Structure formats: C-alpha cells, structure tokens
Amino acid sequence: MTRLALIATMSFLGTATAHAATYGDVAACAAGSTTPALLAWFDGLKDRKGKLRLELFPSNDQDFLADDFLLEKAGKPFRRIELATPAAGPVAICIRAPGPGRYSFAMIHDRDGKRKFTFSSDGIGFPGNPKLGWSKPKAAKATATLGDGVTEIHVRLNYFSGIGFSPIKEK
C-alpha cells in the first residue's frame, strides 16, 4: 500500500445495511466475503463538511496514532480510507485488514479538510467509544478484533465542547 490515501468508491450492500451507502474497500465488506475487514459506522456527525477518515494501526500504544510514513517504513500494518463527507444518510466505511487479528482504529471527521486534526472543530472516535480526555486513549481501548470476514461496529464521534470532547447532543 502506498502512503497516499485510498480513494473511496461507493456501493450498496445487500445485507442488513440496505439503503445505506458503504464506502472504502467495498469488496472486502460484501456479503460472503472472507477477507478480514472492519465496517465502521460513523454515528453522530456534527455536519456534512470536510472529509472522513478511517485509519487502521497496530494494536499497541507505541504505534497507535503514529506517523503513517514511519509505520510503513518499519513494515508495520497501516491503512487509511479517506473520502469527502457524504451530503446525507448514514455513513459506513469499510477498511480491509492485512489479516485476522487485533488492530486499533481511529475515525476522524476532518471538518476543514486540511488533513491535520484541529481540536476546536474536528471530530474523533474509536472502537468501544472510550471516554476521551486531553490525551489519546490507550490502544487497547480503541481496538477491534477481526476474524475472517467482516466485523461491524458503530462509533460515536466526539467533538470539542466546553472543557473536553464529547458526542454532540441529540436534537
């Protein structure tokens, strides 16, 4: 895989996610696929600005959220799917894993599209929806175990509000 982000494609799955667009490594999440993959639902988007990113990291504290160039140079697993935030509807992004196992993931709503996390505006979420403080969560709190086939999760995005990060309030 190159350092460049994958360009997402759109498809519709014929499973429980009917009527919802799925983006990213769509074939890996197709019904009957045995490819290890994560299908992550981005819940609680603040708005439809900017880009969405789903990133896969090794499941250890040293490598979690590390620079992708350094991870790839060291031969460690790293994958990224990035796409323009869809104008409407539920959003699910599929990312293919290098093989079955435990991986840490980050879901980012890059509202200004600058590819750099901006605390005051961007949203972030992790598997297991850990409570966020002022530092990144431990890799173990942002991990999903993938087998052969698709593992599906819902992640609630958190945005800066007042004195910390939290999900946006439902209307």
Rounded average pLDDT per 10-residue block, the chain, 171 residues: 32 43 94 97 96 98 97 98 95 97 98 91 94 88 97 95 83 64
pLDDT at position 162, please? Answer: 81
pLDDT at position 6, please? Answer: 33
Classify residue 68 as exposed, middle or buried by CB count within 10 Å of its CB (0-12, 13-18, 19+).
middle
Residues 118-153 pLDDT 10s: 989 999 999 999 988 778 899 999 999 999 999 999
Domain ranges within the chain, ordered by starting residue: 6-161
CA distance 26 to 23: 6
* Residues sharing a CB contact under 8 Å with residue 115, sequence separation 6 or more, in sequence order: 51
pLDDT at position 87, please? Answer: 95
pLDDT at position 171, please? Answer: 64
Residue 91 DSSP label: E
pLDDT at position 17, please? Answer: 43
Residue with tokens 């360009």: 7
Nearest CA-CA partner of 45 in 100, 109, 92: 109
pLDDT at position 125, please? Answer: 96
